[in-house]
Amino acid sequence: MNSDFTLAIHSLSFLALQPDRMSTSDAISESAGVHPVRIRKVLSLLKKHGFIKSKEGTGGGFIFALDLSEVNLWDIYKITSEGALQPKCPESNEKCIVGANMQRVLCSIFFGAEEHMGEYLKDYSMKEVVDLVNKRQ
Amino acid sequence: MNSDFTLAIHSLSFLALQPDRMSTSDAISESAGVHPVRIRKVLSLLKKHGFIKSKEGTGGGFIFALDLSEVNLWDIYKITSEGALQPKCPESNEKCIVGANMQRVLCSIFFGAEEHMGEYLKDYSMKEVVDLVNKRQ
DNA sequence: CCAATCTGTAATGCTTAGTATTACAGTACG
DNA sequence: CGTACTGTAATACTAAGCATTACAGATTGG
């Protein structure tokens, strides 16, 4: 899977530890070791879904908009990486019973796998992630 | 994730429907819509782990070596795609508490997610996959 | 014995997804 | 109105996935 999901978690954790002031994409990108534009792209998604607020101009930046325990990893996964489990198959052969039916079967299996992983991810709220980050300083 | 996992499932399903004779990589590759060399690479893995047998030369090919119900999708996942969930993070910043700890936290979360998905995949044996393929002809 | 038909695998090149970088418009503040 | 930000499009770079070529080794049948 691509790393938008982990960058989103990283950014939100960063913001969670600065609850009373705005953080710039530069600061977050330095913490995460990626380019600021990428952070802004990911944060743009998070903003669109109401997890964070942003403000332009001097003194601007990003800030968490919800309570930490209201946001879980499945929420974040869905907006950054949904469908990432599904590998894209080339068109297979309709003349062969396997080729003709495999895609349908695999799609349903992978869909189920993603739903199942969702149950696991729902058990991690951002509060728990931040606690884990804090645990070993 | 890459498509080795699905190609392995596709190939095994194909072999499952030809239980009494050998199938060539050409036949399987045509069914799956990919290059024969790729199929041989995937099947080489499956052979190394004892799921199939192969025979070189005229009349040779591949054939299932176990009972269909003995092989489940988690077995196949493990040898083709283990670790595929884990996105690779760039080195993050050790000077920042988030940067310094995030990788460890994410690794453990993704490891757990993969294990959890494993429980789901274990419920699909190749017998069940083949039944699904046969269901709608 | 040798030509044909397979697997096994390394090497090379192509294609695409992911990512970095540049550029610049828009917003807010002092 | 200059400075410090976000927002976003466009371009370029890089790595992973995949196809293709090439060829050695095994097996069979004529």
A3 touches strand C (CB under 7 A): yes
Q: Indicate the helix (H) or strand (E) that contains B28.
A: helix B25-32
Residues 16-75 (B) with a CB less than 8 A from some CB of A: 17, 30-34, 73
Please give the average per-residue pLDDT across B24-43, as a whole number: 97
List the one residue out of A89, A69, A73, A71 whose CA is nearest residue A81.
Answer: A73
Contacting residues of B for A108, CB less than 8 Å apart: 132
Please say if the pLDDT value at position B137 is more than 70: no
Question: What is the structure's pLDDT at B86?
Answer: 85
Answer yes or no: do A99 and B1 touch at CB < 8 A.
no
Answer yes or no: do B116 and A116 touch at CB < 8 A.
yes
- Please name each of the domains of chain B with its CATH number: 3-135 (1.10.10.10)
Ordered per-residue pLDDT tens for chain A, 137 residues:
779 999 999 999 999 999 999 999 999 999 999 999 999 999 999 999 999 999 999 999 999 999 999 999 999 999 999 988 888 777 788 889 999 999 999 999 999 999 999 999 999 999 999 999 998 65
CA distances from A77 to A82, A119, B2, B28, B117 (A): 6, 12, 19, 35, 15
Question: What's the whole-model pTM score?
Answer: 0.93
Tell me which residue has tokens 């739903």: A115
Separation of alpha carbons B14 and B26, rounded Å: 12
Tell me which residue has tokens 């530069």: A26
Question: What is the structure's pLDDT at A137?
Answer: 59
Please name the nucleotide lying closest to B62, CA to C1': C7
Question: What is the structure's pLDDT at B91?
Answer: 77
Answer yes or no: do B32 and A99 touch at CB < 8 A.
yes
Backbone angles phi, psi at B31, to 5 degrees: -65, -40
Q: Where are the beta strands (DSSP E) in chain B?
A: 52-55, 61-64
Size of interface A-B (CB pairs under 8 A): 145
CA distances from A6 to A11, A55, B41, B77 (A): 8, 23, 31, 23
Query: Distance (Å) from CA A130 to C1' D5?
Result: 27
Which ranges in A19-72 belong to alpha helices (H)?
25-32, 36-48
CA dihedral defined by A37, A41, A46, A50, rounded to 10 degrees? 100
Question: What is the structure's pLDDT at A2?
Answer: 78
Contact between A105 and A99 under an 8 Å Cβ cutoff? The reply is: no
For nucleotide D4, give the residue with the nearest CA to its C1'.
A58
Separation of alpha carbons B45 and B39, rounded Å: 10
Q: How many residues does chain B have?
A: 137
A90 touches strand C (CB under 7 A): no
Query: Is the torsion defined by CA of A126, A32, A42, B105 positive or negative?
Result: negative
pLDDT tens by residue, B110-124: 999 999 999 999 999
Which bases of chain C are contacted by protein, using any atom under 7 A from a CB? 4-11, 17-23, 26-30
Query: Distance (Å) from CA A82 to C1' C28?
Result: 35
Q: From residues 57-96 of A, which are strand D contacts by CB within 7 A? A: 57-62, 87-88, 90
Q: How many residues does chain A have?
A: 137
pLDDT tens by residue, B59-116: 999 999 999 999 999 999 999 999 888 887 777 788 899 999 999 999 999 999 999 9
Q: Which residues, 6 or more positions from A51, have their beta carbon under 8 angstroms from its beta carbon?
A: A12, A64, A65, A66, A71, A75, A76
Q: Which residue of A has its CA nearest to B135?
A: A101
Answer yes or no: do B101 and A33 touch at CB < 8 A.
no
